[in-house]
A = this chain, B = another copy of it.
Amino acid sequence: MPDIRKLLWPNSVAIVGASSDTRGLRGRIVQILRSHPYKGAVYPVSRGETEVQGLKAYKSVADLPPTDLAALIIPAKFVPQELEACGKAGIKAAIILSSGFAEEKGETGPALQREVQRIAKQYDMAVSGPNGEGFTNTAAALCPTFSPAMDPGDVPLLPPAEHTRGQVAVISQSGGMGYAFFDHGRPKELSFRYIVTTGNEACLAASDFAEFIIDEGKTNAILMLIEDLKDRATFERMAAKALRAGIPLIINRLGASEAGARAILAHTAARGDDAEYRALFRRYGVIESDDLDEMVDFAAAFILMGKRLPASYRVAIASSSGGGGAWVADACAISGLDMPVLDDATRAKIDVYLPPYGCSQNPVDVTAQAIHERGYAEFARLAAESPNVDGVILVVTGRHPRFLLEDREHLIALGRDSKKPVLLWSYTRPAAVCVDLLSEAGLPLFTNVHNCARAMCVMADYRAARAAFLKG
């Protein structure tokens, strides 16, 4: 097994095919790489240019100083010879961003891919791709990719460290989709450790990267988008490790439909049987989802509430909006959650604060008036104390920050002290200060009601699957 650490944590990176033209992908990769504070050396390799974007360019791979990783972004037909040059130069890791391999019609592309496999094996190189979009290692500020999601100046790669309760890794065959997870999750203050796009997986596959990441022990949830599994034994070993470590695998396998299967065959030459995948995933407590937003929301919920997963499927709902409470109740029922009426002792404690038109049954219709007087957190705290429930969904409106901000200390205490999971659904688009505050409090904030309800449900599923697995 080649050394993935050389690939994800190189001290130096060569860009083979680098260009000064930042309108093209070969220029973009250099531009993006240099726009982040990566501490290693960057060596452009260019046949035509002596300097690329202010960096000295090398004529060929053979001229390079000692290099850990080569990123190849050149026409497919030149990839084998350059990869071989890398191998001869002692470069132990490569990513191939070029397309035109096994996914191409005809004989040439697949033959080139077999060449890549042969060379990687011969020189014991860790090779990712071809037909990938590179990767990102946020801790190293290393982004050898042309993904526009890695353009700087929008949001920093990482949210504030003091709010970070854990990190997520993305592993995706599709480059565009892989970086789309980051694009959707980062504004929600989700902290990404890696985004790895694996393309055709001629050599290293998603499971190999996942296993490295699990063994490394710094990632708390893994989002995977796969088109097929190259090696089932590796997947099983990896998935077992993940489940033992309590690192949820949140996976969408593309190609479940006939047209989807046609698409992945054309995209990365992938094939697979849906029923087999389902059975395999079930065995290892994999959380399946076919919705990008939902997958990101699940990851956030596990990162913040993973140490207090619901013991079962009984949930309390507390809402400032009566309609909002009913809506989330319907969503919970669709997800398979139960909403038992709260016990009398808990109801009595809640009733003290409610106006006569409020209701403490479940959903707790707290009413706007009681929220104005007591804030949100107290009602979630009281509901969570009911022995009849295993978790709480708190319905808020995050558009106007006043009632959340005034409740700051209690929300932070709730996030810190609650022994049961508390998830928040904001039925309005939350203001940035509310996102910040709830991130600081470690309370998962959902804007989609079904994602919120389903998150509670899959957390309970995962707890049960893990318990069964550990029991053997």
User: Taking beta carbons and an 8 Å cutoff, which residues of A are in contact with B?
Assistant: 25, 99-101, 103-106, 109, 131, 148-149, 151, 172-180, 183-184, 187, 225, 227, 252, 254-260, 262-264, 266-268, 290-293, 317, 320-327, 329-334, 339, 341, 355-357, 359, 361-363, 365, 367-369, 397, 399-400, 427-429, 447-450
Report B-chain residues with C-beta under 8 Å of the C-beta of A267.
322-323, 325-326, 359, 365
Closest 4 CB pairs of A and B: A174-B323, A257-B333, A267-B322, A176-B321
The reply to whether B367 and A400 form a contact with Cβ atoms under 8 Å apart is no
Tell which of A105, A148, A369 has the most Cβ of chain B within 10 Å. Answer: A148
Q: Are B322 and A268 in contact (CB under 8 A)?
A: yes
The interface residues of chain B lying within 8 Å CB-to-CB of A101 are: 357
Residue numbers in B under 8 Å from A175 (CB-CB):
321, 323
Copies in the complex: 2
The residue from B179, B266, B327, B330 contacting A322, defined by CB atoms under 8 A apart: B266
Please pick, from B260, B341, B367, B447, the residue contacting A333 in the complex, using a CB distance under 8 A: B260
- Which single residue of chain B is at the shortest CB-CB distance from A225? B323
B99 and A176 within 8 A (CB): no
Do A293 and B333 touch (CB < 8 A)? no
Q: Are B173 and A323 in contact (CB under 8 A)?
A: yes
- Cβ-defined contact, B257 with A329, below 8 A: yes
CB distance from A348 to the nearest CB of B (A): 15
Kindly report which residue of chain B lies nearest to residue A365, judged by CB atoms: B266
Give A325's nearest chain B residue, CB to CB. Answer: B263
A sample of 6 more A-B contacts (CB under 8 A), given A148-B399, A176-B427, is A99-B369, A105-B359, A176-B323, A177-B327, A267-B326, A293-B447
Q: Is the CB of A321 within 8 A of B174?
A: yes
**Residue in B103, B148, B355, B363 whose beta carbon sits within 8 Å of that of A400 in the complex:** B148
